[in-house]
Every structure is written in structure tokens, then in C-alpha cells.
Structure 1
Amino acid sequence: MLDAPLRARLDAPLARAAKALDRSWISPDRITTAGLVLGLGSAATAALQLWAIALLLWLISRLADGLDGPLARLRAQRSGTESGAGGFYDITADFVVYGTTVVGVAIGASAAYDVSLWPFLLVLLAYYLNGAAFLAFSSIAERHHRTLDDGRSLSFLGGLAEGTETIIVHSLWLILPMLAWHIAIGWAVIVGITAAWRIHAGYRALR
């Protein structure tokens, strides 16, 4: 829901940052890898209940995730060629980070505050349904030439839960781990609604 207005505000600053990072030894894939490693570090430190460190690693990880795309587009404009490999790696890394950070918070919060794990299982289920819906739509839309081009590698159907909301929610349960399971219940509902909307909208768009 917040991705489109935020992208409108951040596209220019991120493009300038990408130009500053445009060095031969820095590649979009290396930035993606850095974001992946930092995200996994956030999950691990959350599981160890090192909440402040986990939050810092999470936010830097998401910053890296915001920079690999602009750098890839800058390189593609200069070379005149574009490969889908980077976009595939980026979205796969995002899914790995999202899933492992949910598990890390669940482990840490349950150990520290003796909370139930089932709300986090609901979040993972909602992520699974949501991811299946938008990835299936993107693949089939490409095949039938009905892509939605917003500059990203995949065709994204909008919804209540997008990247910006994910960053906010994952940050919240690292800031307030004692309330993480409450946040997880609400987040699972929102992501579930988004998944249902994407299934409905995707089916109608492809008819």
C-alpha cells in the first residue's frame, strides 16, 4: 500500500546513491548478497535476543535491498543489455530474509517472554500464500504479455502488505519483542487479506 508513494519519493535519492556506488568492484549481486547476509544476521541475533543489534542489521539489510535495483538499472542503461538473473536473485534473497527473520523473532520472543509460536506460524503461512499469488501472477502475466511494469523485475499486484509495511512490522517486533506475538497476529491477518486480494485481482486481470 505504501510502496508506490514511497518509491516516488525515494527513486531520485536511491538513483544518486547508486551512482555513488558505481564502482567496478561493487555489483548489484554483491549488494544483494550483503543484504542477504545482514538479514540472516538479524534473524540470528533476534533468536539470541540481541534485539538492538537485530534491528540495526535488519534496517541496513533493507537499505541494501533498496540499492541493488537502482544500480542494476544504471548498469543496464549504460550497457544496453539487461539480465533477469539479478532480479531472480534479489526476490529469492528477500524471501529467505523475510522467512528467517520471522523464525528468529519467534525463537527469541518465545525464549524471553514464553509466548506462543502459533502467531508466527500464521505469518509464515500468510507469506507463503502471498508469495505464491504474486509470483504465479508475474510468471503467467509475462507469458501472456500482460505485465505490470513499474521498473521492478516482476509484475507486482498492490495490496495492504508490501515491502514498506514489511520493513515497518519487522522493525516493530524487534523494538517491542514482548509484544511480538500480538503484532504477528495482526500482521498475519493483513498479509492474508493481501494474499486473498492478489488471488482475486490476479485472476480477474488474466481473464
Structure 2
Amino acid sequence: MLDRWTLTLTKPPLKRLARGCDQQGIRANQVTLAGFALGMLVMPLLAFQLYSLALIAVLLNRLADGLDGELARLQGATDGGALLDIVLDFIFYAAVVAGFALANPADNALAAAFLLWGFMGTASSFLAYAILAERRKLSSMTYPSKGFYYLEGLAEGTETIAFLVAMCLFPGHFAGLAWAFFGLCVITTATRVVGGYHSLKDDPATDHQDG
């Protein structure tokens, strides 16, 4: 929901950083993989309740996620790079939630399980529509530079980052934050499924019947 505004603020400094990286011969996929490796440190850090270090890992991962996109646009975006970007993002998000479950299973595990369920809804609705949008040669007017159709919702990248940061800053409130974000994920999934279905149902290439 907030991505359209936050992107206008973050793009200029990321573009400048991307130009510097490009001059040093750094490739977009290298940044993607390095950011993912840093991000995956979040799970053991959270498991040992090292919340400040976990927050740094989250922020570095998100910085790399923004930087690799700008580098890709400078160097030439590829389908392989877009695949790495989105898949590793979802793995990272799930790793943060799993880390909080490990940190305090008694208080956090149930909320973490439901939040992961919510992530399944947002991820599947997002990616399923992207596949069908590609089949119909649709492009997002809101996010035309994305490597895939960027279907909007209440729970987008900005909201996800905000909740992950809040969880690291206030780990004792993880369960409440997770339940709140789960609610946003449910609403996002429902609106994407309903809106996506109605936008695609009349196309014979995508309107499939079971059985």
C-alpha cells in the first residue's frame, strides 16, 4: 500500500549507490546473493535473542534488495535475476518469523505459525497473478520497472519491512505484531484473489475449469 510513496524517496540514493557499484564491476545478482546470505543470519541471531544484530541483518538485506534492482536496470534486467530476487525475498521473510519462534517458542510459536500461513496467501496470490499477467502480456502501470507484474495490496514491501523492524525493536511484542500483520495478509490475499479473478475470468486463455 505504501510502496508507491516510499519508492520515490528511496530510488534517488539507491540509483547513486548503484552507479558507484556498477563502476566497480559489481553485478546485480552478486548483490542479491550477498544480501540473502546476510539476511539469513537473522535466524540464528534471533534464536539467541540478539535482536540488535538481527535488526542490522534485516536492514542490510533490505538495502541489498533495493540496490540489486537499481543495478539490474543499469546493467540489463534478466528473468533469472527477477526470479532470484522474489524467491529469496520470500525465504528471508519466512526466516525472520521462524527466528522469532525459535527465540521464544512458548510465546511466539503460535503467532509465527499463523503469520507464515498469511505469508503463503500473499505470496501465492502475488506470484499466481504474475504468471497469468505475463501470459496476457500485462504490465503494471504503478510499478512499470518491476521484473514481474507487481500486484498491489495492504501488505507490500514497505509494510513488511516496518513490521520486521518493529519486531526486532520490540521483541516482547512479537506476538501482537505478528497477529496484526497476519490480519493485513488475510485482507491482502482476499482482495488479490477477488480482484485478480474478476480481471482474468473472461479470458479463455486463463479461465480454466477443474475436472
Normalised by the length of structure 2, the TM-score is: 0.90
Deviation larger for 188-197 or 5-14: 5-14
The within-5 A match list for 1:80-99 is: 82-99=77-94
Deviation larger for 142-151 or 98-107: 142-151
2:182 is the counterpart of 1:188? yes
Q: Look up the equivalent residue of 1:132 and give its one-letter code.
A: S
Which residue number in structure 1 is paired with residue 29 of structure 2?
29
* In 2: Cα distance, 1:15 partner to 1:160 partner: 26
Which residue number in structure 2 is paired with residue 103 of structure 1?
98
What is the Cα deviation at residue 116 of structure 1?
Answer: 4.3
Cα root mean square deviation, aligned? 1.3
Which residue number in structure 1 is paired with residue 17 of structure 2?
17
Q: Deviations over 1:52-100 (max 9, x none)?
A: 1000111111001110000010012xxxxx4211010111110110111
* In 2: Cα distance, 1:35 partner to 1:166 partner: 17
Deviation larger for 148-157 or 137-146: 148-157
Which residue number in structure 2 is paired with residue 79 of structure 1?
none
Normalised by the length of structure 1, the TM-score is: 0.92
2:38 is the counterpart of 1:44? no
The within-5 A match list for 1:161-180 is: 161-180=155-174
Moved over 2 A (4+): none
Which residue number in structure 1 is paired with residue 64 of structure 2?
64
* In 2: Cα distance, 1:129 partner to 1:118 partner: 17
Kept after mapping to 2: 8 A contact 1:48/1:108:
yes
What is the Cα deviation at residue 146 of structure 1?
Answer: 2.2
Q: Gaps (5+ residues) in structure 2?
A: 202-211
Identical-residue share of aligned pairs (%): 34
What is the Cα deviation at residue 24 of structure 1?
Answer: 5.2
2:139 is the counterpart of 1:144? no
Q: Secondary structure at the match of 1:115?
A: helix
The number of residue pairs the alignment matches comes to 199
2:147 is the counterpart of 1:153? yes
* In 2: Cα distance, 1:66 partner to 1:43 partner: 21
What is the Cα deviation at residue 23 of structure 1?
Answer: 3.5
Q: Deviations over 1:15-67 (max 9, x none)?
A: 11110111454111110011111110012201111011000111111001110
* In 2: Cα distance, 1:31 partner to 1:130 partner: 25
* In 2: Cα distance, 1:132 partner to 1:50 partner: 31
* In 2: Cα distance, 1:96 partner to 1:8 partner: 26
Kept after mapping to 2: 8 A contact 1:105/1:174:
no
Which residue number in structure 1 is paired with residue 197 of structure 2?
203
* In 2: Cα distance, 1:190 partner to 1:174 partner: 19
